[in-house]
Amino acid sequence: MELDLFISGIGGQGIQLVGKSLALAAIRDGRHVMLAGEYGGHMRGGSSVGTVVIGATPLKALPILPHAGSAIAMSHLFWERVGSRLRPGSLVLAEETISADLPDMDKHRLVKLPATAIATEQGSRMAAGMVMLGAYAALTGAVKIDSAVAAMAEQIPSYRRQHIEANERAIRAGAAAVTPLAFAVDFDSAAKDVA
């Protein structure tokens, strides 16, 4: 089984950091991973989409995903680039403040999360993506929370190390804000089926 995910938002929201943290956490957990980024023409304010595929066995996914079964939505802007590529019944973890602006959510399993508010409570409004990372990890079991924290910390550059603690609090708060394994992925049984 492969878990495929779009992470959608605006440049500057940490979309690529969320994707890379999830991918590195999955590698730490012994999974096979593919990571790709799609960017708009702006450094900040343009479209930013990360794609992550995780599997227990070598992956069969294409480098650029034509479709996926889950998404994290941090902004409704540019959502059409992702929403039209979701399979029916996909899990969509959405920032609560933009969830009403996402079209066709009746086709999917929508989980709303006040990620920006939670991140602000944890000391850094800019850590909303980390809240979503923790929530997604907890909802699906795709990666361990400790692996997500370690993966995030290893890629923060030296001049931003002061943000690691707030990012960790945000990841853990996101995980605590959702029902654990409500949309669990069972990589282990899928790996046994292949063996």
Domains and CATH numbers, the chain: 2-194 (3.40.920.10)
Whether residue 194 is predicted with pLDDT greater than 60 in this model: the reply is no
Q: Which helix (H) or strand (E) holds 70?
A: strand 68-73
pLDDT tens sequence across 15-69: 999 999 999 999 999 999 999 998 876 667 789 999 999 999 999 877 789 999 9
Angle at 102 between CA 66 and CA 151, to 5 degrees: 60
Please answer whether residues 174 and 133 qualify as being in contact, where contact means their C-beta atoms are separated by less than 8 angstroms. Answer: yes
pTM, entire model: 0.94
Axis-axis angle for helices 164-176, 128-140 (nearest 10): 40
pLDDT, one tens digit per residue, over 173-183 is 999 999 999 99
